[in-house]
Chain A
Amino acid sequence: NAGVTQTPKFQVLKTGQSMTLQCAQDMNHEYMSWYRQDPGMGLRLIHYSVGAGITDQGEVPNGYNVSRSTTEDFPLRLLSAAPSQTSVYFCASSGDRPYEQYFGPGTRLTVT
């Protein structure tokens, strides 16, 4: 049981490049989310999903796309990377029990 996995752990991009951050969970959770954490701040919600085929925007969605074709996977796409997207990205999944909120290990992204 791997929980929530994220790849890659580290990534450096040049401005304008695109990439996909991968997130997968093996707990059959319906709810999945992407957050970003900037220095000295708490996590902010980018996008979330309440089930396969259903996604919605969070607090800071601009510059990011998501899709949820399966229960297990919830990739985050950066369409045209900007230095302002330099951050640590966390994926999370939520189960049916209210206290169930599991985070992946994070992806540290630097955009130069």
Chain B
Amino acid sequence: AQKITQTQPGMFVQEKEAVTLDCTYDTSDPSYGLFWYKQPSSGEMIFLIYQGSYDQQNATEGRYSLNFQKARKSANLVISASQLGDSAMYFCAMREGRTDSWGKLQFGAGTQVVVTP
């Protein structure tokens, strides 16, 4: 069963505007972590932001923030003040908290973001 769902296959956003990328997840483990990665056309996976299930505050990293709604099992990425260099594929991923799952990420299908001038 799909554990990470990204419902937006693609989005267009104008430069300098904010954009929200949706991610919902499914787990029964009370301990888990949520990741967002950016994959530009060059192909590398770039870590953006992390949110632990026990973290009280929403994670922020520069222009990236994670809107974590635990009860709704939602972990949306917000990119503020979009730049042309933000054009890329964005993946949401989850790791469940058991030690034997520490090296196992489950990924969503991704959202392609195109930033227009």
Range of interface residues on B (Cβ < 8 Å): 20 to 34
Contact A58 B91 (CB under 8 A): no
Q: Which residues of B contact A99 (CB under 8 A)?
A: 33, 35, 47, 50, 52
Contact A49 B109 (CB under 8 A): no
Contact of A40 among B44, B50, B99, B109 (CB under 8 A): B109
Contact A43 B105 (CB under 8 A): yes
Q: Dominant SS at the A interface?
A: strand
Contact B95 A101 (CB under 8 A): yes
Q: Which residues of B contact A49 (CB under 8 A)?
A: 103
Q: Which residues of A contact B44 (CB under 8 A)?
A: 103, 105-106
User: Which B positions have Cβ atoms within 8 angstroms of A?
Assistant: 4, 33, 35, 37, 43-45, 47, 50, 52, 91, 93, 95, 99-100, 102-110
